[in-house]
Amino acid sequence: MVITIDGAAGVGKTTTAKELAKELGYQYFDTGAMYRAVTFYFLAEGVDLQKSSNISESLKAMNLRIDFLSGNEMILFLDEKDISLKIRNQKVTSYVSEVSALKEVREMMVSIQRTTTEKGNFIVEGRDIGSVVFPDAKYKFYLTADYDIRAKRRLADFEKINEAKNINKIKEDLIVRDKYDSNRKLSPLKKPDGAIIIDTSECSIKEQVNQILKHIER
């Protein structure tokens, strides 16, 4: 079974999805990390994003592996090297919207997401999970939050990987990325049909998770 959690960057998807996975004994699945891993790989290989044939060839040659550890951790390996932390850096963050808008990339990622979740129970977080990847999921949630709160949360994420950042710049980047993700042709970020909206601006993590659990119990 799959429970979907969609929403923009910094709305609290990751913390909520991880906690929910713990509460329900499900596996946490971060699809944004997959798009980041492809971006990391394309940057390392110097792939020309304007050339479709170049993209397809590079994707075929990519050796990406996802490992699920103890429920709420997901590790990504490129050529058997753990890249889970590196994919969070600023360079990857600034290119990931462009890479995730590519048809070849999306087709491959969606196919991996569907086959990976065929067996077992998963909390899957992303942008198009309830709308495109699992439109028939029984429980779908769409998280939102104010820009200022989201920027503060992102700042804390960057501090974790020792990257100094300016909060106003983060906010500007969020606005640009949202615009790009929401207006792209393929699988744009939007509230999936039938998804329940959870506004996390004023919520603690516990409250967010409890709201979702209440809907599921109902």
Give the footprint of ligand DC on residues 105-124 (CB under 6 A).
none
User: Is 171 or 177 the residue whose CB approaches ligand DC more closely?
Assistant: 177
Size of site (CB under 6 A) for ligand DC:
14
User: Is 97 or 200 the residue whose CB approaches ligand DC more closely?
Assistant: 97
Closest C-alpha to 208, from 56, 16, 77: 16
For CA atoms 151, 152, 157, 158, the dihedral sign is positive
User: Is 74 or 212 the residue whose CB approaches ligand DC more closely?
Assistant: 74
User: Is 89 or 217 the residue whose CB approaches ligand DC more closely?
Assistant: 89
Rule CB under 6 A: is residue 47 a binding residue for ligand DC? no
Terminal CA-CA length for the chain: 17
Maximum C-alpha span of the chain:
50
1-34 exposure pattern, b = at least 16 Cβ within 10 A, e = fewer: ebbbbbbbbbbbbbebbbbbbeebebbbbbbbbb
CB of 99 to ligand DC, least distance (A): 8
Rule CB under 6 A: is residue 9 a binding residue for ligand DC? yes
CB of 124 to ligand DC, least distance (A): 8
Burial class from Cβ neighbours inside 10 Å (0-12, 13-18, 19+) for residue 152 reads: middle
Question: Of residues 24, 32, 146, 196, which one binds ligand DC by CB under 6 A?
Answer: 32
Residue 148 identity (one-letter amino acid): D
User: Is 10 or 217 the residue whose CB approaches ligand DC more closely?
Assistant: 10
CB of 93 to ligand DC, least distance (A): 7
Rule CB under 6 A: is residue 150 a binding residue for ligand DC? no
CB of 97 to ligand DC, least distance (A): 5
Where do runs of H (alpha helix) occur along the chain?
13-24, 31-45, 52-61, 90-100, 103-116, 147-160, 167-183, 205-217
Token output for 108: 């491959």
Q: How many CB atoms lie within 10 A of CB 193?
A: 9
CB of 200 to ligand DC, least distance (A): 14
68, β-bridge pairs:
74
Q: Could you tell me which stretch among 66-74, 115-123, 127-135, 199-207 binds ligand DC (CB under 6 A)?
A: 127-135
Rule CB under 6 A: is residue 177 a binding residue for ligand DC? yes
User: Is 16 or 31 the residue whose CB approaches ligand DC more closely?
Assistant: 31
* Residues at the site binding ligand DC, with contacts judged by CB under 6 A: 9, 31-32, 35-36, 96-97, 100, 126-129, 177, 181
